[in-house]
Amino acid sequence: MIPLGGINMNDKGNYSLKPHEKYGFLQVKPTPTAEEINHFYANEFYSGDYKNFNNSSLQVQLADQQFWEGTWNDQAKVIQSQLAKPFCELEILDVGCGWGQALLHFKGLGASCYGFDPAAEAVEYGVSQGLNIKHCGVESMDVFAGKKFDVVMLNNVLEHLAEPVRVIQQIRQHVLKDGGLLIVTVPNEFNKFQVAAQRLHNLEPWWVTPPAHLNYFSRTSLQALLSGCGFHSELAVASFPLELFLLMGENYVNDRDIGKICHAKRVQFELNLRQLGEDDTIQQFYKALADANLGRQITCYAKAI
């Protein structure tokens, strides 16, 4: 087991990380209760000070809307290539949809969009925008009972769940159509750039944050989980390796102002390439990073088999 020392953002006891016995991703032990997890997301993640430490605030997401639209357009291309259907024939479910920004984008492409999230404020906003989303926790997949979808998305959700294997199994058995597409994005933790940057700056592992993150994945462990639950997953795409800034001496962990500057540079990197018509180059770059288990996040596309 890997000791976490003083890394415990809510002072609820000592945690450690242990590899999952079958799939190898790291899990927080002991696991917080479902009540503790739901309370955290309903009352803290989207409100108060915590939202300033992630991209969960609506203000942050709207400020970077052009950047995120590039990512969603990349996903749309993969969805169409994998399913060979126009968007007007697709039904998409976003598990943990937050403020519904991704769903609004895919709705604009013609898809029928559904979602659910434990944050009442975010759900109320999504409903006000005309989305079919519900307020509930993300551990149970029977929200739209009996309905199956062409595409199910979990964008930065799986790392938060107490029982990620069970949730993926439920999606495969009860939520996703045969031949449907599962899209899972998770932080790519303990990657070599991240660990090297930690050593360089003599930092604690800042990315370990129970009860917010309970699971820690790599491309290898995420694809192992998906394959073990009835999916065929070949395509994996990373995101920009933000740890490069740390390795170049920009310590954004200890200085949030530096972090904002680094994020803006990462955004401009992609926007400049897209404005030059190099969308495919971005995807090739991020696929190569994923193959090397590098990049800040990993997105896996998995077909139900």
Domain boundaries, the chain: 57-191+218-304
Copy the structure tokens of residue 43: 């009352």
Ordered strands of the 149-155 beta sheet: 132-135, 112-117, 91-95, 149-155, 176-187, 297-304, 231-238
CA distance 139 to 212: 14
What phi and psi, each to the nearest 5 degrees, are found at residue 111?
-75, 155
Q: Report the relative pairing of strands 16-19 and 132-135 from DSSP bridges.
A: unpaired
Instruction: Assign domain 57-191+218-304 to a CATH class.
Output: alpha beta
Q: 222, 296, 281, 226: which is closest to 74 by C-alpha?
A: 281
SS3 per residue for the chain? CEECCCCCCCCCCCCEEEECCCCCCEEEECCCCHHHHHHHHHHHHCCCCHHHHCCCCHHHHHHCHHHHHHHHHHHHHHHHHHHCCCHHHCEEEEECCCCCHHHHHHHHCCCEEEEEECCHHHHHHHHHCCCEEEECCCCCCCCCCCCCEEEEEEECCHHHCCCHHHHHHHHHHHHEEEEEEEEEEEEECCCHHHHHHHHHHCCCCCCCCCCCCCEEECHHHHHHHHHHCCEEEEEEEECCCCHHHHHCCCCCCCCHHHHHHHHHHHHHHHHHHHHCCCHHHHHHHHHHHHHCCCCCEEEEEEEEC
Check if the beta carbon of residue 101 is closer than 8 Å to that of residue 61: yes
The pLDDT score that the predictor gives to residue 119 is 86
Helix 65-83 × helix 101-108 angle, to 10°: 60
CA distance 113 to 105: 10
CB-count burial class (<10 Å; 0-12, 13-18, 19+) for 52: exposed
Q: Which amino acid is at 43?
A: N
Q: 106, 171, 150: which is closest to 132 by C-alpha?
A: 106
Query: Residue 74: beta bridge partners?
Result: none
Q: Which amino acid is at 92?
A: I
Q: 255, 299, 259: which is closest to 55 by C-alpha?
A: 259
Confidence (pTM): 0.91
Which pairs with CB-CB distance under 8 Å and at least 24 residues apart come from 198-202? 200/246, 200/247, 201/246, 201/251, 201/253, 201/254
Provide the residue-wise pLDDT of the chain in tens; the chain has 305 residues: 454 443 443 444 478 999 999 999 999 998 887 777 767 766 766 554 554 444 557 888 888 999 999 999 999 999 999 999 999 999 999 999 999 999 999 999 999 999 999 888 899 999 999 999 999 888 888 899 889 999 999 999 999 998 999 999 999 999 999 999 999 999 999 999 999 999 999 999 999 988 889 999 999 999 999 999 999 999 999 999 999 999 999 999 999 999 999 999 999 999 999 999 999 999 999 999 999 999 999 999 999 99
